[in-house]
Amino acid sequence: MNSPMTVLVTGGAGYVGSHCVAELLDRGAKVIVLDNLRQGHRAAVPAEAAFVEADLADTDALKRVFAEWRFDAVFHFAALSLVGESMRDPHLYLHGNTVNSLNLIRATVEAGVRKMVFSSTANLFGTPERLPIDEDTAIDPGSPYGESKFFIERALHWADRCHGLRSACLRYFNAAGAHPNGLLGEDHHPETHLIPLVLDAAAGKRSHIEIFGDDYPTPDGTCVRDYIHVCDLADAHLRVLDALETRSVRYNLGNGTGYSVRQVIEAVERVTGLKVPVKVGPRRAGDPAVLIASSERIRTELGWNPRFPDLDSIIGGAWAWRSRNPNGYRGPATAQAAE
């Protein structure tokens, strides 16, 4: 029998990272999570995974991790990931995300590891000139966040050319939903993402949801996004490992269907049976009107096929997790205290 593969997962205590850790463990991998826990949650990392609390800025810590384990692949999620924050503080993103990733790429190359799977973003495409967005769509990042991810994609391109480090750059559209095992879900502080905020408005934890602009050139005037289940993203990360035996790859990951902000709110009302109070506010800086992926390339080349494409099911999973964990990973004790 083949020995299990050993994988380093940076940012493995975060939302998408923790779902990938679960997928890796399910498939028998040995997993080492490295996370600074500034956004991630220790409780999102299962006991079966080794855990190192460290920041990618700490090159000595990285050296120790690569000296202690021999990795078959590195999954790189650790990053700041808020578009709006990056517009307010571009340096934080252009410096922090890129320098930390360059540290990781260098340590990976020096250790002789040959595969990296990188968490990239649809924000690479800014306001695209055509839809749906495939891998040949012109890159013109919509924010310093997207620019930092593009820079890392370029660094990975050169790490392949110069050192033979094969990489998969996976451009996520709007990650959503929760793991069907009920143990993992979305828990950001502060929360800025649409679906968890609408669920909180339905549950009465927020007075209302504010729609950021209803004067976009879309059927109902609100922004359209392509929501992709976080477990389907995780599945893609595992599939690309085989491709990396022979080449580096770049894939856009979405369902290929767009839903407007109003359609998401309607879906939440349908799924929860609760009314969502709504207010319409001004546009949020940097929001493109429509982002819809074409994921034909990964479907054709690797047979990736989203298992949870239905918006109501995605929202249903997120609702189940939030209902069971009203305080996210902060645990039932706090939840009871709050009741």
Active site residues per annotation: 145
Where do contacts with ligand UFG occur on this chain (CB under 6 A)? 81, 83, 121-123, 173-174, 192-194, 197, 209-212, 223, 225, 261, 284, 287, 291
- Residue closer to ligand UFG (CB basis): 66 or 77: 77
Of the candidates 158, 189, 160, 170, the one whose C-alpha atom is nearest the C-alpha of residue 85 is 189
- Residue closer to ligand UFG (CB basis): 71 or 77: 77
Give Cα separations from 161 to 104, 148, 335 (angstroms).
Answer: 17, 20, 51
Q: How far is the CB of 114 from ligand UFG (least distance, A)?
A: 28
- For residue 248, the number of C-alpha atoms closer than 13 Å in the C-beta half-sphere is 22
* Tokens of residue 217, six digits: 């050139």
Q: How far is the CB of 16 from ligand UFG (least distance, A)?
A: 10
Q: How far is the CB of 299 from ligand UFG (least distance, A)?
A: 19
- Residue closer to ligand UFG (CB basis): 291 or 314: 291
- Residue closer to ligand UFG (CB basis): 32 or 82: 82
Q: Where are the beta strands (DSSP E) in the chain?
A: 6-10, 30-35, 50-53, 73-76, 115-121, 166-172, 174-176, 209-212, 224-225, 227-229, 249-253, 259-260, 278-281
* Tokens of residue 118, six digits: 């990188």
- Residue closer to ligand UFG (CB basis): 50 or 280: 280
Q: What is the DSSP letter of 187?
A: -
Q: How far is the CB of 125 from ligand UFG (least distance, A)?
A: 9
Contact 295, 256 (CB under 8 A): yes
Residue sitting closest to ligand UFG (CB): 223
Q: How far is the CB of 5 from ligand UFG (least distance, A)?
A: 28
The separation between CA 195 and the C-alpha centre of its own chain, rounded to angstroms, equals 14
